[in-house]
Amino acid sequence: MRIVRHLLLTFLLLMTSSACFAQIGISVSFGPPALPVYEQPICPGDGYLWTPGYWAWDSDFADYYWVPGTWVLAPEVGYLWTPGWWGWGGNAFLFHEGYWGPHVGFYGGVSYGFGYFGTGFEGGRWDGGHFFYNRAVNNVNVTIIHNTYNTVINNTNINRVSYNGGTGGINARPSPEQEAAEHERHIPPVAVQTQHVQTARSNPALRASVNQGRPPIAATAKPAEFKGEGVVAAREAGAPYHPAPAHAGAASPPNPVHASELQPHVAPAPVNSGNAKLDQKYQQQQQNLIAKQNQQHQQLQQRQEADHQRATQQNANAAKQQQMEQRHQQQTQQLEQRHTQQQQRVQQRAPAPSHPEERPR
């Protein structure tokens, strides 16, 4: 399938420790649509932080769907939101889940707007236990919320691209400060955010194939409230919408990423050339080769699993995890290519039939 389902397991190095929550979730073989153009609904109250909208993936419909931007109460004083982002992982686009933390980490260089311009956060700051809003990039009612300031951001990035890497993607890498932020204590999306995503997924109008990249609900004042005055529709699509390839749902075996995904080699059926001694010798060569190759499968699998364990213990960031997975995929595919070549060389030495008319055509 176009959805590389097996990567959901092989790339799920869940960083659930208190030190890091940078995790890689689902992966898709083609990138999400451009970010739509929309206005931000007014902030509903003090302590709410903006979480920008993004395209999520629904494997049931093999389609992207829009998760509207919304205001969410910070789970702890001093915590900021790092948006989730899509990035190219070597043979698929991988989604990196957003998280709450004391500093904003790497989010792919994607310019979500409203203070999230690809690096850091310009929408506000915590001071003395209160969040102060930058009115230059946030829609805040100053008669209700008084802790505000006004700092104009000279943002020249008007790119609506919604993913990092790959063809047409944003070319950005995490800075040392962003990598450090990934190792801080994090909180995963809170319950209302999870409910918000589920509500968006259940709305057919938010699927990209339906709204052509211009969702009718682009943002909401509060999570999961998709009706009422706080709902904002997209003004336009961020770029011309290109539907998924026609063969996106067609079944096709994915390229293996890890040795654990390789099928064991099995010796072919015995040959019958008419020379029992030669046939037996050839069959023994085949069996010896198969045993050696399956042993190499196990050895590579053990090395790759050791890499995963070290990455978890060292709280490896998302960029280093991607590099590791790309290296594993290269190792796995090179091993299989070498095995195929070895089997072809042995097959070339197969005993020929005793009678010319029995030679295969």
Number of neighbouring beta carbons within 10 Å of residue 25? 16
pLDDT of residue 22: 42
Query: Interior CA angle at 134 toward 67 and 128, to 5°?
Result: 105
Q: What is the DSSP letter of 358?
A: G
Inter-residue long-range contacts of 346-355, CB under 8 Å, 24+ positions, other chains counted? 346/282, 346/285, 346/286, 346/289, 347/268, 349/282, 349/285, 350/271, 350/273, 350/282, 351/271, 351/273, 351/275, 351/278, 351/279, 351/282, 352/273, 353/273, 353/274, 354/273, 354/274, 354/275, 355/274
pLDDT of residue 247: 53
Closest residue by Cα to residue 236 from 214, 220, 217? 214
Closest residue by Cα to residue 21 from 182, 231, 145? 182
Would you say 342 and 265 are in contact if contact means Cβ atoms under 8 Å apart? no
Query: What stretches in the chain show pLDDT beneath 70?
Result: 1-26, 155-157, 245-256, 267-269, 318, 353-361
pLDDT of residue 61: 87
pLDDT of residue 8: 39
Would you say 83 and 54 are in contact if contact means Cβ atoms under 8 Å apart? yes
pLDDT in tens, 145-186: 999 999 987 765 678 999 999 888 999 999 999 999 988 999
Q: Hey, what amino acid is at 175?
A: S
Closest residue by Cα to residue 116 from 77, 149, 84, 140? 84
Q: Hey, what amino acid is at 235?
A: R
Q: Is 201 helix (H, G, I), strand (E, B) or coil?
A: helix
Report pTM: 0.64
pLDDT in tens, 244-279: 765 553 333 456 678 887 778 876 667 777 888 888
Give the span between the Cα atoms of 140 and 145, in whole angstroms: 7
Give the span between the Cα atoms of 158 and 170, in whole angstroms: 12
